[in-house]
Amino acid sequence: MRVVLVERITPGERSNLDELEALAQTLDYEVVGKLVQSRVPDPAFHIGRGKVVEVAELVKRTRAERVIFTNQLTPSQAFNLYKAIGVEVIDRFQLILEIFAKRAGSPEAKLQVEYARLSYELPRVKERVRSLMSVEQPGLRGRGEYEVDIYFDMIRRRMATLRKKLESLAEVRDQRRVKRRRGGFKLVALAGYTNAGKSTLLNTLTDSSVEVDDRFFTTLTSRTRAIKGSEKILVTDPVGFIDGLPPWLVEAFKATLEDIYFADLVVLVVDGRETLPEILRKLKVSLDILRDHDLRIVVALNKIDVIPSEELERKMEILGKISRPVIPISAKEKINIGGLLEVIRQEVFGSQALCSQ
């Protein structure tokens, strides 16, 4: 699918179009145009009316089939943009939900994706359907109101059913955790921004062969394996983080994130190839998601095999002021994995790890 990306930023704000493009490419979309506007949001279109004309011309010229906004759109804004531009208009959250729907493989992941989609839909359904009814079927306003209420109640009932199913699965996980702890097992969770290399690190630490993809959100369902040579330490790879996740989306994937919250240690994986400001931004996003939980965290600066030595030293120095310890590794090339394993053992077993050596 050919798509055009649009973003509105406030003056001086950093653009997120590159990340939006990476998200679009995760679905194999072809990005044929990008536009950014710096201004306050317009109530009707989010962007200015002149920019709407510019987007429409770009869509026509490039034969784009869809427009994707970085910004969250109200249903009325999306509808107004559709009428003015002539193709479907969605926002970043809808794109993320489409990625989740494509990536969901397990029954639980599919339940979580459906719950997230309905959570997004619920506050918008009345406004969107009323807009359609008022424009296309003005004579059926009263019946339209009735149908909207029925649809709204249907969504709420379905969400209640999904919550019960997810809660039932959560009970199974709780029983598994109790059994694991009674058996003396420790759990290490690999957390971090999506596409930081968590799945590759899982493979390296556990000698596994889980799917690795250089795209966003390869993992939606936690994958847990035993560390090779340390059968009492399990490593789990849950869903990756991304900036600006709304509370309803975090809530939908609470089941997966619980694997992080209940872990004995969190290894926060950071993509060391990126610029220092980008590393710090993504690290802040990850720490903000984890901050309400009493967690033991170590930072793994990944992909050091492609970082010049002086640049690596600078990044280690800055990260060391924010979080300790920081372990430089390359999950792909298996550089300093032994050092990371030593830190993991010491963190989860304490003095027992030293006594066993």
Statement to judge: residues 207 and 343 lie in one domain: yes
**Which residues of 124-222 form beta strands (DSSP E)?**
186-192
Mean pLDDT by 10-residue block, N- to C-terminus, for the chain (357 residues)? 96 90 93 96 96 97 97 90 96 90 82 88 72 52 64 91 90 86 91 90 89 70 81 86 77 76 93 94 90 90 96 94 88 96 90 46
* In-domain check, residue 135: yes
67: in domain: yes
328 membership: H or E segment, kind and range: strand 326-328
Q: How many CA atoms lie within 13 A of 45 on its CB side?
A: 19
pTM: 0.82
Confirm if 272 and 318 have CB atoms less than 8 A apart.
no
Same structural domain for residues 194 and 123?
no
- Residue 310, judged by CB atoms within 10 A of its CB (0-12, 13-18, 19+), counts as exposed
What's 240's domain CATH number?
Answer: 3.40.50.300
**Six-digit token pair at 264?**
């004995």
pLDDT of residue 356: 45
Question: Are the C-beta atoms of residues 87 and 234 closer than 8 Å to each other?
Answer: no
Report the alpha-carbon distance of residue 239 to residue 80 in Å, rounded.
34
Q: Do 302 and 334 sit in the same domain of this protein? A: yes
Does 263 lie in the same domain as 119? no
**207 and 93 co-located in one domain:** no
- Of 244, 200, 139, residue with least CA distance to 332: 200
Largest CA distance in the chain: 81
Give the distance from CA 150 to its chain's centroid.
32
Q: Are 90 and 189 in the same domain?
A: no
Alpha-carbon distance of 178 to 141, in angstroms, equals: 55
Instruction: Report CA dihedral (282, 196, 22, 34) to the nearest 10 degrees.
Output: 30
Domain shared by 279 and 247, yes or no: yes
